Amino acid sequence: MTAKPPSRIRMPRAAREAQMLEVAERVFGARGFHATTMDEIAEHVGVTKPLIYDYFGSKEGLLAATIERARHQLLDAVITAWAEDPAASARQRVRGVITAFFRFIDDHEQAFALLRTEGSLIGEAAASVERIRQQTAKALAEGIAMLPEFAQLPAERVVPLVEVVIGGVERLAVYRSEHPGLSSEDAAELVVTTTWDGLASLARP
């Protein structure tokens, strides 16, 4: 006997796509890209495999879309963090943005697990990972440039320091994933404490 395809509830295309991406993030993150099958994702979503191919074209396309979704969510989190307390000191605002980054990772452990496996990613998925790095660095650099203390600082001085900060955040995020217990706030404070002297030395007297 031929197995019946999984029954599914009709929903708008955008809602179905969001559901597929949420499931894909969870399954890819837990099992890894290569070990995950489209049949498995279809079963978790409750749709047929051809429908997922219709939305994303391939497993690689689904992975790339999953990472792109995380990229947009992270950008929203960073922008929101910059706007939270305009009256705060420069140090507090930078710490707030870095805290938002760590909180995002805590809330999207599966997405971060995908990014950590970048060595096995190819094509558009690998490009999406790099866009996340570039986007995060750009948002942090632009935010710092808008602070009065750094308003006169040339971009060529800010960008390299921001790359150092982002590198520290990424490595500490990996450490936290393997050694639970360090809160987002404490992790952000550690990064800021380590890097702030470098930033502050360039600030306007």
Give the residue among 199, 121, 124 at the shortest CA–CA distance from 166: 199
Domain region containing 50: 13-200
Beta carbons within 8 Å of 193's beta carbon, 6+ residues apart = none
pLDDT in tens, 67-88: 888 888 888 888 899 988 888 9
Q: What is the mean pLDDT of residues 162-166?
A: 87
pTM of the model: 0.77
pLDDT in tens, 186-203: 999 999 888 877 767 666
pLDDT in tens, 27-57: 988 888 888 999 999 999 999 999 999 999 9
Q: What is the CATH number of the domain that holds 70?
A: 1.10.357.10
The answer to whether residue 151 sits within a structural domain is yes
* CA separation for the pair 81, 103 (Å, rounded): 11
Task: Please say whether the dihedral angle defined by the alpha carbons of residues 171, 173, 175 and 177, taken in this order, is positive or negative.
Answer: negative
Number of domains in the chain: 1
C-beta contacts of 176-183 below 8 A and 24+ residues apart: 176/102, 176/105, 177/105, 177/109, 177/112, 177/113, 177/116
The answer to whether residue 112 sits within a structural domain is yes
The answer to whether residue 5 sits within a structural domain is no
The answer to whether residue 1 sits within a structural domain is no
The answer to whether residue 205 sits within a structural domain is no
The answer to whether residue 8 sits within a structural domain is no
The answer to whether residue 4 sits within a structural domain is no
The answer to whether residue 2 sits within a structural domain is no
